[in-house]
Amino acid sequence: MTVYRAPLRDYKFLLEEVFDVGEIAKLPGYEEATAETFAAVLAEGAKLCEEVLFPLNLPGDAEGCRFENGVVRTPKGFKEAYDLFRQGGWTALAADPHYGGQGLPATLNFFVSEMVASANLSFGMYPGLTAGAVEAIHQHGDEVQKKTWLPKLIDGTWSGTMCLTEPQCGTDLGQVKTRAVPTDGDGVYRITGTKIFISAGEHDLTDNIVHLVLARLPDAPSGTRGISLFIVPKFLATDDGARGPRNGVRCGGIEHKMGIKASATCVINFDDAQGYLVGEKNGGMRAMFTMMNAARLGVGLQGLALGETAYQSARTYALERLQGRSPTGVKFPDKPADPLIVHPDIRRMLLTMRAYTEGGRALAAWVMQAEDKAHRLTDADERAANDELVGLLTPIVKAMLTDNAFLVTNLGMQIFGGHGYIHDNGMEQLVRDCRITQIYEGANGIQALDLVGRKMGQHTGRLLRRFFHPVDQYLRAKMSDPALGEFALPAYRAFGRLQQTTALLAQKGLVNPDEAAAAAAEYLRAFGLVALGYVWTRIAEVALAKRGMANGEAAFYDAKLATARFYMAKLLPETGALFASIGSGAKPVMELAAEAF
């Protein structure tokens, strides 16, 4: 069976020892977000996730959602769990206090959300989509819209979605056909069209569902320049903010999916529904990307979360399952066989799982701290610098962490052997649930194109410098450290190759865009591996300093060092093959004629 305990000690290590959560408490508005506050909130969240959400994960997958007479029913126990979640204030954690939120940092909310997704990803989809809707309305809505919709979305009484995809278009939103027709000057639009793949589009957890919908006005220009964003609620709101009459919004059915079966993925039909323009006409893509960018970081978190549960479960199984004898001789003579953990290949798989999961968490923690600084620092230039770092690393967090997570969950199932293939043991569910993270909120190939096609050249390479300069400065300074050199030196060598490859790709891509596009996925992975090398070096530096004064925790820091060594020796060298492949150019990818496939 799968197991899950919130990795609170690892959270404390990252927040207090590696990245210094005290820096967040110095930001305006976050004065109460001290290390003690972080620890207390995370401990309470851990109880909810371990005791309420995790036990619902496997049965929720088996039962799934049901579509009955236009109504979606979530699995047994989900409604009661959601009520506890809402009453505990978890939907309001990072939201604006002016509208009922608690105003806590995005970094803290990230770790809480990781626990939720580790315990029960399907459940976490419902409040997760609402958080994105809140952010879009908060940033782009007018004051009337904020007062009307935000309080109930933030307190969890109502939930939210984002409605982008249509049957004829997914990533290519320029093909959106949903129509928005203005009425007689009263600010109301009539929305007609069909959206598909709408997570949490219909369910029985909340009294109302507020859809954010991309649609096209009658006089809109073609392509993405002609898309606007609208609030289209399932039920209209009354003047005092209560739930009013039913709007022209109906669920046409739910998808029967490979994974996340307890999350309702819906077809939503808008039939002359009332909607309200968010932001400017034809400015929908800018507003929607507020949701999308947050969602992409959130999906990276989902991959990380599933990897954590897979690692914990595989580790427990490997320590308990008796199979064969150690290659170097019997290790447990009192038992009929040695546990799996004695076998080198099992250890290789577990260390791979651990290195990618703990390294990915450290990378995400760095990004989320930059996110908080981008919102709260008083100096405009410093805010911009942090915002640009987040923008650069968002596609890497989304794609790298989810690609690694699919590898990690598969390794976990491999360690379970045949038992991992059986539903009742829970491991195959993690693999199925994880697979969607590489696809939705922009497939990982799109993330690679975003990195190479947009972020690399943006502001003449300024976004890249937000990463390259601090990493270069740090690794260069640490290479000569006698103790840290074994980590910093391989990381710096890979970093140097990344810089060279970046320059080569930028040069070749200017001449022939296929050169950049053909290498994009490999470049993103190489970039991600180097970024993990950087954070593992930082982790190793702290572990080296703390192991001598560990107060009984020497084993914790020794494990960090051993995992860092494994990463540098066994996983980071993948960059060499990636750089060689990128250097081969686009011809091997593009020379075969389309009709020859």
Burial of 489 (0-12, 13-18, 19+ CB in 10 A): middle
36-44 contacts, C-beta under 8 A, 24 or more apart? 37/104, 37/108, 38/11, 38/108, 38/111, 39/8, 39/12, 41/93, 41/104, 41/108, 41/112, 42/6, 42/8, 42/11, 42/108, 42/111, 42/112, 42/115, 43/8, 44/88
Whether residue 265 contacts residue 254, with contact meaning beta carbons closer than 8 Å, is answered with yes
Q: Which of 114, 202, 441, 541 is catalytic?
A: 441
Rounded distance between C-alpha atoms, residue 449 and residue 384, angstroms: 23
Whether residue 256 contacts residue 172, with contact meaning beta carbons closer than 8 Å, is answered with no
Rounded distance between C-alpha atoms, residue 434 and residue 299, angstroms: 10
Whether residue 291 contacts residue 284, with contact meaning beta carbons closer than 8 Å, is answered with no
**Structure tokens of 554?**
């020497």
**Structure tokens of 439?**
């696809």
Rounded distance between C-alpha atoms, residue 305 and residue 45, angstroms: 14
Sign of torsion, CA 315 319 322 324? Answer: positive
233-238 contacts, C-beta under 8 A, 24 or more apart? 233/149, 233/208, 233/209, 234/202, 234/208, 234/209, 234/210, 235/207, 235/208, 236/274, 237/148, 237/149
Active site residue 36: no
Rounded distance between C-alpha atoms, residue 563 and residue 143, angstroms: 50
The separation between CA 491 and the C-alpha centre of its own chain, rounded to angstroms, equals 25
* Residue 210 falls in which region: left (phi positive, over 0), alpha (psi -120 to 50) or beta: beta
Q: Which residue is associated with the tokens 């890497």? A: 396
Nearest to 433 by CA among 303, 316, 304: 303
Which SS3 state, helix, strand or coil, does residue 71 take?
A: strand
Whether residue 388 contacts residue 370, with contact meaning beta carbons closer than 8 Å, is answered with no
Nearest to 343 by CA among 319, 327, 356: 327
Do you know the residue count of the chain? 597
Nearest to 374 by CA among 457, 292, 285, 463: 463
According to DSSP, residue 552 is labeled T
Pair type for strands 265-278 and 188-199: antiparallel
- In the chain, the amino acid numbered 146 is K
Q: What angle do CA 523, 358, 296 make, to 5 degrees?
A: 55
Rounded distance between C-alpha atoms, residue 393 and residue 31, angstroms: 27
Half-sphere exposure of 150 (CA within 13 A, CB side): 23
Whether residue 264 contacts residue 201, with contact meaning beta carbons closer than 8 Å, is answered with yes
Rounded distance between C-alpha atoms, residue 440 and residue 197, angstroms: 9
Rounded distance between C-alpha atoms, residue 121 and residue 143, angstroms: 33
Whether residue 199 contacts residue 265, with contact meaning beta carbons closer than 8 Å, is answered with yes
* Catalytic machinery residues: 441
